[in-house]
Amino acid sequence: MATQGHAPLSPGARAQLVKHRALTLGFARAGIADLAPVPHQPALLRWLEQGMAGTMRYMHRQAGRRIEPATILPGATRAVVVTRNYYSEDSPPTPGTGRVARYARGRDYHVALEPSLAELARYITSLGPKGTLAKPYCDAGPVPERELAQRAGLGWIGKNTMLIDPERGSYCFLAVILTDLDLAVDLPFEADRCGTCRLCLDACPTHAFPDARVLDSRSCISYLTIEHRGEVDPALATAFGDWIFGCDICQEVCPWNVKFAEVADDPVLKPDPGLARLDLVELSRISDAEFRAKYGKTALSRPGASGMRRNARLALRFTAETAQIAEQDSRPE
């Protein structure tokens, strides 16, 4: 904020201050983008028309604003996009347990990141005149985070639809602050560094990628274990393995993660070792009250007790079938 008697800050100077403040608040990277229409409008509309959003009807309701991000917060002209590393090492396989995706092995990230995002938003408003807009979004609302992050120069969208930071890989949360503060924008990340690699596409056990950068949610383990309500198609469930909340497979095989992912040293997102793998029998029988008390402040609350009981039963069925096959294979001819 310019002090009395000093020349006002330029958009470039304000942008540098905002990005520096983001780093001091614990974010890994920060970039700034305008709110022009996203270039992927035809692809999004085709994806919705083909039913690939599954039961996520909010994607249909939000489509117009996702395509035209300037309509999300009237008056906003810029997106300050930040990333935060959440990578943690995987726990050794333990019989009778189910795996939880890395991003959900601690406090609910929406809650965990709220204070630092709110502080960054306040700082942005302090750089402008009274009434300056600055509203944070963390995986909420119709914000096209990955498209804005690419436009802000933070990485490219990989074939598995994840944003890939060339220095850190894809194990990062994305958050956006929409503002009307005049900030210099960054150059977009134009390069596609996936090249001919298709490890992520081929590794998916449910074949959820009909094409590069096209994810059919209806076959995705993350969608089916978190967003989907009711029973799961047995033909798909047999491919879940021991995943009971989310899935990291397409990220685990990505060469950019294999080479660059580093364990996050972040007290805000400190993982709970007890959340990496959960006892399947206990989870399959847990009551609603017990579930709320134990997991109510984590991302596991999204599918709720009934969803997690279902996921545990599917994993138990998988482990039982695996054990049966192993026993048969070990019998002498």
**Which residues carry out catalysis?**
139
75, 72, 76, 77: which is closest to 143 by C-alpha? 72
d(C-alpha 149, C-alpha 144), whole Å: 9
* H helix intervals, the chain: 11-24, 41-49, 58-67, 109-126, 145-151, 199-203, 221-226, 234-237, 249-252, 255-260, 280-285, 288-295, 304-330
Q: CA dist 251 to 103, 158, 170, 235, 286, Å?
A: 12, 10, 7, 23, 30
DSSP string, 162-178: -EEBTTTBS-EEEEEEE
Read off the tokens for 77. 């002209």
